[in-house]
Structure 1
Amino acid sequence: MLRKYSNHRTQSDNVKLGALTAFSAGMVNVTSVTVFFAFTSNITGYYAVLAQEVSKGNWYQGAVVLLWITLFFLGSFLSNLVIIQGKGRWSQYISHAIPVILELLSILFVGIYLEFFYQNSLKETEILVGALLFAMGLQNGLTASISNSVVKTTHLTGLTTDLAILVSMFSKRENRHNQGLVNKFHLLLSIMMSYVAGGLFGGIGYLYFQNGVFYLTCVILMVIAFYDFYKIGRVKRLFERRKREVLVQDS
């Protein structure tokens, strides 16, 4: 999922990454709405809230919303910065895994703080919402960067528009046999369904696990981060075994 970059990625790579990250984003968003009454997987609405608060002269509230937007921006910025600066210094897999680990740590921080320290104050809520927005910025920046903007999983506005455009294009018979369009349709549909499924899981899971839902999200992110580590190790073992077999045959 994380080893390959841009046009070297396969449809399977993008579907796996898109589905799992969308599932985790759906979980985070629904859980944050349940706990904080705030959306955290996208910032579209916060631009409107920012304008509204400033127009009313609510400078503190406007500053908080601006901070949230900035944190999402910084998350996306940091993801791409790590990927760009990591080229030539680390392996491609490590460069792509670092943003996932940072996202995991941000969400883990929120879960632990809610579990042991949260006093339900406005200041705490503002900080924790900011941490989740930072995490979602990291995720969206990562998926968009390594997939050449094919995979975006923290919000569905553009995705729903793209999906509607594709469905309209399928009204022409020749487009139904265009493998590129069909693959894109399957990818977008899998992201949308995974996001909704993650939201349902987060909402139902909160009834049983409460703040533990954030820990479950971290487990999914661990799968994303270490899946390719396992694959890399398996490939290396197969390569070494094949090398030994060749040496035995030559001897």
Structure 2
Amino acid sequence: MINQLPRWVEVGGFCLALIAGSVNAIALLGFNHQGVSHLSGSSSLLGVELAQGEPGAAVHLLLILLSFVLGAAVSGCVIGNQSLKLGRRYGVALLAESLVLLLAMAMLERGSDLGHYLASAACGLQNAMTSTYSGAVVRTTHVTGLFTDLGIMLGLKLRGQPADRRRILLYLILIGGFIGGGVLGALGYADWHYRALLGPAGLTALLALVYLIYRQRRQPA
């Protein structure tokens, strides 16, 4: 049940949302207003570019979409299950994401579009890494579904049904982390441009280390 949600899920979810919000803010400021943490905007822009007869821009956007899918595929290959559970190889996935973000930064510093695709792949990897916990959708790279679920729960409350306070808290934590990451990403980009990706890359690596230590201590001797 969601009420049995362990603290590590809330803390980890906040950190991951912070990372994704930061990466997406840097992308919006540096990639001609193209986000990479979710695909809704890029999919719409792809349709616009196709309608306007801009094949070069359309191919670029298509590669961003495919890179996100590729990142998710890597996560599925490494972790092998959609159910969030302590003991899975999240540390490996997090280290892979950190490395991809560092490569993205290096490519972007050189002016290569490959950096765009790598940043999108990193977000796809992270989004696929944590899918559900006890029936609660745990998405850390976008907040549309979280706001939708909050609205649904508000509507149920107006009908007189009890509110799931623990799930509401989880969603608010994820939303707060994503927005907070956006603030940090924008501030970092203003001072360090694409080198601001060092922040989310470093935090991802640190989170991997903390998870590996925590998992080792929790495992029975």
TM (norm. structure 1) is: 0.76
Cross-structure match for 1:50: 46
Identity %: 25
Correspondence for 1:29: 24
Contact 1:41 / 1:154 at 8 angstroms: preserved in 2? yes
How is 1:132-171 mapped onto 2 (pairs within 5 angstroms)?
132-144=119-131, 150-171=137-158
CA-based RMSD: 2.5
Amino acid of the residue matched to residue 97 of structure 1?
Answer: G
1:19 aligned residue (10, 14, 20): 14
Equivalent position of 1:245 in the other structure: none
1:182 aligned partner, one-letter code:
R
Number of residues of Structure 1 aligned to a counterpart in Structure 2: 215
Match of 1:213 in 2: 196
Where do 4+ consecutive residues of structure 1 move more than 4 Å?
145-149
Cα distance, 1:52–1:235 mapped onto 2, change above 3 Å: closer
Post-superposition Cα deviations, 1:13-68, rounded to whole Å, max 9, x if no partner, equal: 32122111100001001112222222111110122222222223322322221111
Deviation of 1:146 (Å): 7.0
Matches within 5 A, 1:25-174: 25-37=20-32, 38-84=34-80, 93=87, 95-115=89-109, 118=110, 120=111, 124=112, 126-144=113-131, 150-171=137-158
Gaps of 5+ in 2: none
Letter in 1 for 2:162: N
- 1:135 and 1:21 map into 2 onto residues whose CA distance is 12
Structure number having the greater helix percentage:
1
For 1:235 and 1:149, the matched residues in 2 are separated by 23
**Where in structure 1 are there 5+ consecutive unaligned residues?**
1-5, 86-91, 241-251
Matched, 1:10 2:9: no
